Amino acid sequence: MKLSAPALLLPLLAKPVAILGGGVSGEGVQALLTALGVGAKIYDAKGADFTPAAAAQHGLVVFSPGFAPDHPWLVRARAAGAECLGELDFAAMFWCGRVIAVTGTNGKTTLVEFLTHALRSIGRDAVATGNIGHAFSRLVVARSGGKSDAVALCEVSSFQAEVLRHFRADATLWTNFAEDHLERHPGLESYFSAKWNLVARTTLAVNDRERGRINPFAPVHATGVFVGSSVSRFAQVFNRPLGTLVQIATESQPANPRLAGTVFADYPQRENFLLAAAWWQAAGLDAAKLFVAAQTFRLGRHRLARVAEHDGVTFWNDSKATNFHAVEAALAGFSAPVVLIAGGKPKGGDLAGFVHRIAPRVKHVVLLGETRVELAFHCSAFHVAHTTCVTLADAVQRATELAAPGEHVLLSPGFASFDMFRNYEDRGDQFENRVRHLGVLSPSLG
């Protein structure tokens, strides 16, 4: 199938397109525009500056999720009369298949990966995209717009959701909601509203399909919005209508023997399975096959993964835990004492409340990064034993000294990684390398 632009975009593509941000999203947009035969120029903080003169040269601006709606470059683009679209919105206008959107404060990457794995296991054409690290634009190019029976499992962050206008999801799965990204959103309700915009885009898609405006081409897939327990609670707090949402009891559910030995046997991952199962059942798919898929599914790296044991102390890499909710969920899974390595680039939020909540669950906290001084203040206030370190190497060494046989050292930072590392993967890799230097490495890392 040859790529062609929708009529709405044709006048805007007469001029070269401005791409704001040269990362994964920006490169994906450039690849899509190249496939269309449309010129483009990337503007990035490390490269070309998007000046008023530059803005006047473009009719369409496509921006990466890192650009907040009020970013000066976007303000400049609008003032010059340009149309501004987020990368996800732009790419969605070319996609011809189904879209299952997944969002949530935590768990969304795992849920996307699991559903992709499960659908492929029953012969469906499913592919993961979006905030997972594979730009939707890149997927559109690879699939030349997407077959009508293809399913894009699209991870959607609040940064992406808040600017959506053209994107439509056939179904949305919203795992959970907790404090996060308050460095970008001015408050908790604003953060919730950003994600709620995805709910609105899903409702529009369902309504359009029912009215015959969208061809119901896919033979088996559920539509609607499926939300976990915490999302339901906050929807009530913020006075959002729950009538059309499928509410799933995802918290404090009993163990399921059929999940024994899988990554979903315990929380927090069990919540992901419950959301997946609700959508799977609504789609009319065989429940037994979802349990079979759970048996063969493996978590991606840096998600509460056992790294090694050294002198009776077990080391865990949970570098993907970039918010308070993720750290608290990880700590809840340990019965033996934990020496926690935490800290990083601040994302807003109630640090005092976070320290107060984790206090009963940690033996000692080793603090890193830009937040280490403020975290140390709150640790002192709540009588939490703590140590501050400047480097990760020092943090691992100190945590090793503090942990006794039978205890755990857990890297679960609770903050962004960009103050000291390229990303959370780099942070996790460096942690695992430091564990290697302790002299014992688990077979999985050899």
Name the amino acid, one letter, at 116: T
List every span in the chain annotated with CATH 3.90.190.20: 305-436
3-state secondary structure the chain: CCCCCCCCCHHHHHCCEEEECCCHHHHHHHHHHHHHCCCEEEECCCCCCCCHHHHCCCCEEEECCCCCCCCHHHHHHHHCCCEEEEHHHHHHCCCCCEEEEEECCCCHHHHHHHHHHHHHHCCCCEEEEECCCECHHHHHHHCCCCCCCCEEEEECCHHHHCCCCCCCCCEEEECCCCCCCCCCCCCHHHHHHHHHHHHHHHHHHHHHHHCCCCCCCCCCCCCEEEECHHHHHHHHHCCCCCCCEEECCCCCCCCCHHHCCCCCCCCCHHHHHHHHHHHHHHCCCCHHHHHHHHHHCCCCCCCCEEEEEECCEEEEECCCCCCHHHHHHHHCCCCCCEEEEECCECCCCCHHHHHHHHHHHCCEEEECCCCHHHHHHHHHHCCCCEEECCCHHHHHHHHHHHCCCCCEEEECCCCECCCCCCCHHHHHHHHHHHHHCCCCCCHHHC
Domain 94-296 sits in CATH at 3.40.1190.10
The pLDDT of residue 144: 82
Instruction: Evaluate whether 424 touches 326 at the Cβ level (below 8 Å).
Output: no
Q: What is the mean pLDDT of the chain?
A: 92
Whole-number pLDDT of residue 3 = 84
Burial of 443 (0-12, 13-18, 19+ CB in 10 A): exposed
Specify the pLDDT at position 211: 43
Residue 96 burial by CB count (10 A; 0-12/13-18/19+): exposed, middle or buried?
A: middle
Q: What local confidence, expressed as pLDDT, does residue 220 receive?
A: 39
pLDDT band for 205, please (50, 70, 90 cuts).
low
pLDDT at position 356 over 50: yes
Contact 332, 267 (CB under 8 A): yes
| CATH of 305-436 given 3.30.1180.20, 3.90.190.20, 1.10.150.120, 3.10.580.10 | 3.90.190.20
Indicate the pLDDT class of residue 438, thresholds 50, 70 and 90. Answer: confident
Q: Determine the average pLDDT of the residues in 359-388.
A: 97
Whether residue 138 contacts residue 28, with contact meaning beta carbons closer than 8 Å, is answered with yes
- Name the band, by pLDDT with cuts 50, 70 and 90, for residue 219: very low
Provide the pLDDT confidence category of residue 231 given band limits of 50, 70 and 90.
very high
Could you tell me the CA-to-CA distances from 13 to 9, 57, 67, 281 in Å, in that order? 6, 12, 21, 42
Backbone angles phi, psi at 411, to 5 degrees: -85, 105
Tell me the pLDDT tens digit for each residue of 179-193. Answer: 999 899 999 999 999
- Band (446; pLDDT cuts 50, 70, 90): very low
Query: pLDDT, tens digit, for every residue of 267-302?
Result: 999 999 999 999 999 999 999 999 999 999 999 899
Q: What does pTM read for this prediction? A: 0.88
Asked if 20 and 61 touch (Cβ cutoff 8 Å), the reply is yes
pLDDT top residue among 6 and 118:
118
CA distance 261 to 319: 23
* Residue pLDDT, tens place only, 85-101: 999 999 999 998 999 99
In this prediction, residue 439 carries a pLDDT of 58
pLDDT at 10 over 80: yes
The residue among 203, 254, 243 whose CA lies nearest residue 224 is 203
Instruction: Evaluate the omega torsion of the peptide bond into residue 268 and state whether it is cis, within 30 degrees of 0.
Output: yes
Q: What is the pLDDT of residue 206?
A: 54
Residue written as token pair 């995805």: 198
Q: Are strands 151-155 and 126-130 parallel, antiparallel or unpaired?
A: parallel
Q: 176-203 b/e with 16+ CB inside 10 Å = b?
A: bbbbbbbebbeebeebbbbbbbbbebbb
Superfamily covering domain 14-89 = NAD(P)-binding Rossmann-like Domain (3.40.50.720)
Give the model confidence (pLDDT) of 26-63 as tens digits: 999 999 999 999 999 999 988 899 999 999 999 999 99
Which token pair is 128?
């993961």
Predicted local confidence at residue 1, as pLDDT? 55
pLDDT at residue 436, rounded to an integer? 87
What would the mean pLDDT of 230-258 be, rounded to a whole number? 95
Q: What is the pLDDT of residue 222?
A: 67
More confident residue, 43 or 146: 43
Q: What percent of the chain has pLDDT over 90?
A: 86
313-337 pLDDT, tens per residue? 999 999 999 999 999 999 999 999 9
| Residues forming CATH 3.40.50.720 domain(s) in the chain | 14-89
